A and B are shown apart, each in its own frame.
Chain A
Amino acid sequence: MTLSRKFLLLTLVLSIAVIGSLATPAQRKRGVAKRQPAVSVASIDADGLAAVLKRQSPDAKPLLVNFWATWCDPCREEFPDLVKIDRQYRPQGLEFTAVSLDDPTEIKTAVPKFLREMGLTTPTYLLNVSDPEPAINRVDPEWSGALPATFLFDSQGHLVYKRLGRIQVPELTAAIEKVLRSSESPVSSSGLAVPGSE
């Protein structure tokens, strides 16, 4: 390489560095925002949770709900699988949300931080209640409140599958595929298997 070519290359590199450093704070912020997906965590009470679980609109979709907390090791461990499931089945008509049982003071700190790390951008919630029992019973009266817990509701709001403890991906995806098929060709609610009903 000749001296003039080396000089040209050096000038080019320096120019790019200078132009980059001249980016406005807003531009830099946008760059950061691109790398860190926006997350949504809304505070809800037991009534709010009941409203989320209700599938009343005519175009309601099946809903997968995961209850978790940042202090729960198995919750954090299984979360990447839930994010994958969300990405795989959302285009097929599944809604997914996560409900955090963290302390309400974590709603702007630890909870969104974890969700951002997981890359989950769908709306999520933090349950803010003084007594957890009505919320637990609204989801499933047979649930003790042990975390993690994952529930699948069909498009009519009926509980069709649950997993208390860590999810088993093949089992969960089988249940999701079944409920998505049912949603395509609606059947009567009595035709769906409800856990604990046998």
Chain B
Amino acid sequence: MKKNFIPALLATTFLLAGTIIAVSGRSVEGEVPAPPAIGSTLDDFTLPDGNGKEHSLASLKGKYGAVLIFVAVQCPVSNAYNERMEKLAQEFKARGINVIGINSNAAETAEAVKAHATERKLTFPILKDPGNKIADRLGATVTPEAYFIEGSNKLLYRGRIDNSRNEAQVSSSELRDALEAGLAGKPITKTTANAFGCSIKRG
């Protein structure tokens, strides 16, 4: 009797735990933490580029801040934004805000990231995020997804670049609006905005 009791108790416990997890909704992207609140300060971090060379956020950001954009090699939505990201990077680099790409997809190697940037003529740095540590820290789930931080690493905006994958149909550019407001020292009207994209494939 005792011999049967312990396995039965364990089985019941696992069954109950499984049921609770199944219906509690804690299935979101393998428990990705929530993004930091707007206004919170991000800690510095270091990630390797496509050649394996390490770069800190502090060394890459501009005088007035940085835009971290989670990108992908194979995501059609991310790729639809390549030209827009490059244009944004060139324009705002001259104004003190540097664009930094981050690839957190487990299946996309540093070599693939480097080759993709060369092929698509992306000149801003794209870092590889092994183990998706930075994606987890920032609660990033989708590509492309942008995080605008000011010079002191305070998060001012998180979300989409604009409202349409098709550049011809863009009618609102939330990231650009946030950058302009940030540079002008004005309050940012919209601090988060979402759009459809590809899931970040975590390792």
The range of chain A's interface size is 35 or more
Contact of B145 with A by CB under 8 A: yes
Contact of A103 with B by CB under 8 A: yes
Interface segment out of the listed B22-30, B57-65, B119-127 = B22-30
The range of chain B's interface size is 35 or more
Question: Using an 8 Å CB-CB cutoff, how does the interface string of A155-198 with B read, 1 for contact, 0 for none?
Answer: 00000111111101011001100100000000000000111111
Give chain B nearest CB distance to A193 CB in angstroms.
5
Contact: B194 with A133, CB < 8 Å?
yes
Contact: B145 with A144, CB < 8 Å?
yes
**Which of chain A's residues 90-137 have a Cβ closer than 8 Å to chain B?**
101, 103, 130-133, 136-137
Q: Is the interface of B mostly helix, strand, loop or mixed?
A: mixed
Pick the residue among B18, B24, B198 that contacts A147 (CB under 8 A): B198
Question: Using an 8 Å CB-CB cutoff, how does the interface string of A43-55 with B read, 1 for contact, 0 for none?
Answer: 0000000000000
Contact: A174 with B194, CB < 8 Å?
no
Contact of A13 with B by CB under 8 A: no
In the complex where A132-B194, A146-B198 touch, is A178 in contact with B23 (Cβ < 8 A)? yes
Contact: B199 with A195, CB < 8 Å?
no
Question: Using an 8 Å CB-CB cutoff, how does the interface string of B132-175 with A read, 1 for contact, 0 for none?
Answer: 00000000011001000000000000011001101001011000
Contact: B25 with A161, CB < 8 Å?
yes
Give chain B nearest CB distance to A135 CB in angstroms.
9
Q: Is the interface of A mostly helix, strand, loop or mixed?
A: loop
Pick the residue among A67, A146, A148, A161 that contacts B200 (CB under 8 A): A146
In the complex where A145-B142, A164-B141, A164-B199 touch, is A130 in contact with B22 (Cβ < 8 A)? no
Bound Cα distance A70, B195 (Å): 17
Pick the residue among A133, A148, A161, A168 that contacts B23 (CB under 8 A): A161
Chain B residues with a Cβ under 8 A of chain A: 18-19, 21-30, 74, 76-77, 141-142, 145, 159-160, 163-164, 166, 169, 171-172, 193-201
Chain A residues with a Cβ under 8 A of chain B: 67, 69, 71-74, 101, 103, 130-133, 136-137, 142-148, 160-166, 168, 170-171, 174-175, 178, 193-198
